[in-house]
Chains A and B, each alone.
Chain A
Amino acid sequence: MPTEVAIRTQALTRRFGDLVAVDHVDLVVPRAQISGFLGPNGSGKSTTIRMLCGLLLPSEGSAEVLGFSVPREAEALRLRIGYMTQRFSLYEDLSVLENLGFLAEIHRLSAPRRKARIDELLGLFELGSRADQLAGTLSGGQRQRLALAAATLHEPELLFLDEPTSAVDPESRRDFWEILFDMVDQGTTILVSTHFMDEAERCHELAILDQGRLVATGAPRELMDSIDAAVVEVECERSRAARLHLEGLPEVKSAAQLGTRLHALVDRSVDDPVARLERSLADARLAASCRAAPATLEDVFVAATQAGPEHAR
Chain B
Amino acid sequence: MIPRLSVARIAAIARKELLHLRRDHLTGGMIGGIPIMMTLLFGYAINQDVRHLRAGVADLADTHRSRALTMDAQATQVVDVVARVRSATELRQLLVEGKISVGLLIPRDFERRAERGARPAAQLLVDGGDPIVLGAARGLVELPLAGRSPPSPRAETFALRTYFNPERRSPIHIVPGLCGVILTLTMVLFTSIAIVREKERGNLELLITTPIHTLELMIGKIVPYVVIGYVQVTLILTLGTLLFGLPIRGSLLELATGVGFFVAASLTLGLLISTLATSQFQAFQMTFVSFLPQMLLSGFMFPFDGMPVAVQWLAELFPLTHFLRIIRGIVLRGADLGQVVPDIWPLLLFFAATMSLATLRFRKRLD
Query: A106–B20 contact, CB under 8 A?
Result: no
Q: Encode contact with B along A74-89: 1 for CB under 8 Å, 0 otherwise.
A: 1100110101010111
Q: Which of B11, B203, B211, B364 contacts A107 (CB 8 A)?
A: B211
> B168 interface residue, CB < 8 Å from A?
no
Does B23 have its Cβ within 8 Å of any Cβ on chain A?
yes
Asked whether, in the complex, the Cβ of B9 is within 8 Å of the Cβ of A106, the reply is yes
With A and B bound together, what is the CA distance between A79 and B11 in angstroms? 19
- A134's nearest neighbour on chain B, judged by CB, is B23
Contact B209 A102 (CB under 8 A): no
A87 touches B202 (CB 8 A): yes
A98 contacts chain B at the CB level, 8 A cutoff: yes
Bound Cα distance from A87 to B9, whole angstroms: 24
Closest A residue, CB atoms, query B212: A106
Known: A85-B202, A93-B24, A98-B19. A50 touches B210 (CB 8 A): no
A103 within 8 A of B: yes
Does B367 sit within 8 A of A, measured CB to CB? yes
B220–chain A nearest beta-carbon distance, Å: 10
From A55, A57, A71, A75, B211 is in contact (CB under 8 Å) with: A75
Q: Is the CB of B154 closer than 8 A to any CB of chain A?
A: no
Question: Which of chain B's residues has its CB closest to A101's CB?
Answer: B12
- With contacts A55-B365, A56-B365, A57-B367 known, is A107 near B24, CB below 8 A? no
- Which A residues from 82 to 120 make CB contacts under 8 A with B? 83, 85, 87-94, 98, 102-103, 105-108
Known contacts A75-B211, A78-B211, A106-B9; is A92 also within 8 Å of B201 by CB? yes
Partner of B8, one of A55, A92, A108: A108
Task: Name the CB-closest residue of B to A93.
Answer: B23
Report the minimum CB–CB distance from B221 to chain A (whole Å).
13
For A105, give its contact among B8, B202, B204 (CB under 8 Å): B8
Q: Is A150 an interface position by the 8 A CB rule?
A: yes
- The residue of chain A having its C-beta at the shortest distance from the C-beta of B220 within the complex is A106
Residue A44 is within 8 A (CB to CB) of chain B in the complex: no
**A212 contacts chain B at the CB level, 8 A cutoff:** no
B209 contacts A106, CB within 8 Å?
A: no
For A36, the chain B residues whose CB sits under 8 A away are: none
B6 touches A108 (CB 8 A): yes
A54 on the B face (CB < 8 A): yes
B365–A90 touching, CB < 8 Å? no
A-B contact count (CB 8 A): 79
Determine the chain A residues whose CB is within 8 A of the CB of B364 once the complex forms. Answer: 54-55, 74-75
Inter-chain contacts of A65 with B (CB < 8 A): none
A16 to chain B: closest residue by CB? B367
Q: How far is the CA of A55 from the CA of B199 in the complex (A)?
A: 13
- B210's partner among A85, A91, A103 (CB-CB below 8 A) is A103
CB distance from A163 to the nearest CB of B (A): 14
- B309 at interface by CB-CB < 8 Å: no
**A102-B16, A106-B9 given; A89·B365 CB < 8 A:** no
List A107-156 residues whose CB lies under 8 Å from chain B. Answer: 107-108, 134, 150
Which A residues touch B210, using CB under 8 A? Answer: 78, 103, 106-107
B8 to chain A: which residues have CB within 8 Å? 105, 108
Say which residue of A74, A79, A91 sits within 8 Å of B203 (CB atoms): A91
Residue A53 interfacial (CB < 8 Å): yes
Residue in B20, B23, B211 whose beta carbon sits within 8 Å of that of A79 in the complex? B211
Q: B109 an interface residue at 8 Å Cβ cutoff? A: no
| Chain B residues within an 8 Å CB radius of A91 | 16, 20, 201, 203
B202-241 toward A: CB 8 Å interface, digit per residue (1/0)?
1111111111100000000000000000000000000000
A91–B204 Cα gap in the complex (Å)?
A: 10
Q: Which A residues are CB-close (under 8 A) to B203?
A: 89-91
Indicate if the CB atoms of B12 and A105 lie closer than 8 Å.
Answer: yes
Query: Judging by beta carbons under 8 Å apart, are A108 and B9 in contact?
Result: yes
Give the distance in Å from the alpha carbon of A156 to the alpha carbon of B201 in the complex. 25
**Which B residues touch A83, using CB under 8 A?**
205-206, 209
Pairs across A and B, CB under 8 Å, 17 listed:
A55-B365, A56-B365, A56-B367, A57-B365, A57-B367, A78-B210, A83-B209, A90-B206, A91-B16, A91-B203, A94-B16, A98-B16, A102-B12, A103-B210, A105-B8, A105-B9, A108-B6
With A87-B205, A98-B16 already in contact, 14 other A-B pairs whose C-beta atoms are closer than 8 Å: A50-B366, A55-B209, A56-B365, A57-B367, A74-B364, A78-B209, A78-B210, A79-B211, A89-B202, A92-B201, A93-B23, A102-B16, A106-B13, A150-B206
Listed from nearest, the 10 A-B pairs whose CB atoms lie closest are A105-B12, A89-B206, A93-B23, A83-B209, A87-B202, A89-B202, A78-B211, A55-B366, A106-B210, A85-B205
